């Protein structure tokens, strides 16, 4: 099978996991993960051309319960960008804003908020609900904000995208000089990733396409005009709590995930490496 690294274009890769099932949503697609022998990137191969079919009924886009909101704004708070770190009136774009949870929790801050979600009907619904602009067309976003954004956040978004260089270039154009590019991604070089292997909840085939590690982020930052200022290890319970149901019952089950969630909290506090955040600045 031909391999083509989406970062360095090397054509030699080592097969890591073959025919991975969708344990989370049980979609009928099986995918392979390879590690590039030149730069070490883990990615799907072949890379899917159309990923929209993976997202029918995607829970991240659905309305959440009060309990989920509470957990998101308390226990999961460390994985989200800290809005206390920016000046009042700053322009903040949450790119790939999903269910809008982060933006909703930031509405009371004195910030100029906007979001981006590629699904047009979803972005319209979200915009109406939150009362802020949510774009689904990148050209429109760029024409309104080119060189003006102070902070761009991507919470668990990059791993869903097949062209990391493209997204770095696009976000560079939106940011002001000195602007912050903050993102969180699952860390495939972590204890929980090694412990659960192909059953690791954050592998999430077929939706997760690439797994950038710190060396890749550093190289991408240099190439695209950013400086990597900080790397953070974050305690995120979902990786551990979501993997246990798959180990015991062969698939993700929400009720069991909730039962395992306290264990996930303990594990992620003891080994806060399953998720990493990167803080870059536009030079
Ligand atoms: Zn590579």
Among 238, 173, 174, smallest CA distance to 203 is for 238
Ligand 1 centroid from CA 43, angstroms: 9
Where are the chain's structural domains? 58-282
Residue 272 Cα to ligand 1 middle (Å): 26
C-alpha 232 – ligand 1 centre gap (Å): 23
Q: 87 C-alpha vs ligand 1 centroid, how far in Å? A: 38
CA of 231 to the centre of ligand 1 (A): 21
Q: What is the pLDDT of residue 60?
A: 63
Please give the CATH superfamily to which domain 58-282 belongs.
Vaccinia Virus protein VP39 (3.40.50.150)
Integer Cα distance of 272 and 211 in angstroms? 17
For residue range 57-101, list pLDDT tens digits in order: 777 656 666 666 676 667 777 889 999 889 999 999 999 999 899
Q: What is the pLDDT of residues 204-244, one digit of tens each?
A: 999 999 999 999 999 999 999 999 999 999 999 999 999 99
Q: How far is the centre of ligand 1, averaged over its atoms, from the C-alpha of 29 (Å)?
A: 24
> What's the gap in Å between 206 CA and the centre of ligand 1?
20
CB 264 within 8 A of CB 239: yes
Give distance in angstroms: CA of 63 to centre of ligand 1: 38
List CB contacts of 143: < 8 A, sequence separation 6 or more: none
Mean pLDDT, residues 182-206? 97
- Of 25-29, 38-42, 74-78, 120-124, minimum mean pLDDT range: 74-78
Q: Strands, DSSP E only, in 90-167? A: 91-95, 112-116, 134-135, 149-155
Q: How far is the CA of 86 from the centre of ligand 1 (A)?
A: 34
Q: How far is the CA of 210 from the centre of ligand 1 (A)?
A: 11
């Amino acid at each position: 099978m031909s391999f083509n690294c989406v970062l360095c274009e090397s054509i030699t890769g080592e097969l890591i996991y073959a025919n991975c099932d969708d344990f989370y949503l049980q979609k009928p697609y099986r995918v392979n993960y390879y590690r590039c022998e030149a730069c070490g990137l883990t990615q799907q191969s072949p890379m899917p051309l159309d990923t929209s079919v993976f997202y029918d009924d995607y829970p991240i886009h659905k309305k959440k319960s009060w309990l989920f909101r509470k957990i998101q704004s308390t226990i999961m708070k460390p994985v989200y960008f800290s809005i206390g770190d920016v000046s009042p009136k700053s322009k903040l774009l949450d790119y790939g804003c999903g269910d809008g949870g982060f933006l909703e929790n930031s509405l009371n801050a004195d910030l100029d908020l906007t979001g981006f979600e590629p699904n047009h009907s979803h972005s319209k619904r979200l915009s109406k609900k939150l009362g802020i602009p949510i774009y689904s067309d990148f050209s429109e976003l760029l024409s309104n904000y080119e060189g003006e954004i102070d902070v761009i956040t991507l919470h668990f978004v990059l791993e869903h995208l097949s062209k990391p260089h493209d997204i770095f270039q696009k976000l560079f154009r939106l940011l002001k000089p000195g602007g912050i590019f903050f993102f969180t991604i699952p860390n495939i070089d972590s204890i929980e990733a090694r412990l659960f292997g192909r059953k690791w909840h954050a592998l999430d085939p077929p939706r997760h396409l690439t797994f950038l590690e710190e060396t890749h982020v550093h190289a991408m930052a240099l190439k695209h005009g950013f400086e990597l200022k900080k790397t953070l290890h974050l305690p995120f319970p979902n990786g551990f709590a979501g993997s246990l149901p798959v180990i015991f019952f062969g698939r993700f089950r929400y009720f069991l995930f909730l039962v395992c969630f306290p264990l996930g909290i303990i594990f992620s506090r003891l080994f806060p490496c399953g998720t990493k955040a990167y803080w870059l600045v536009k030079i």
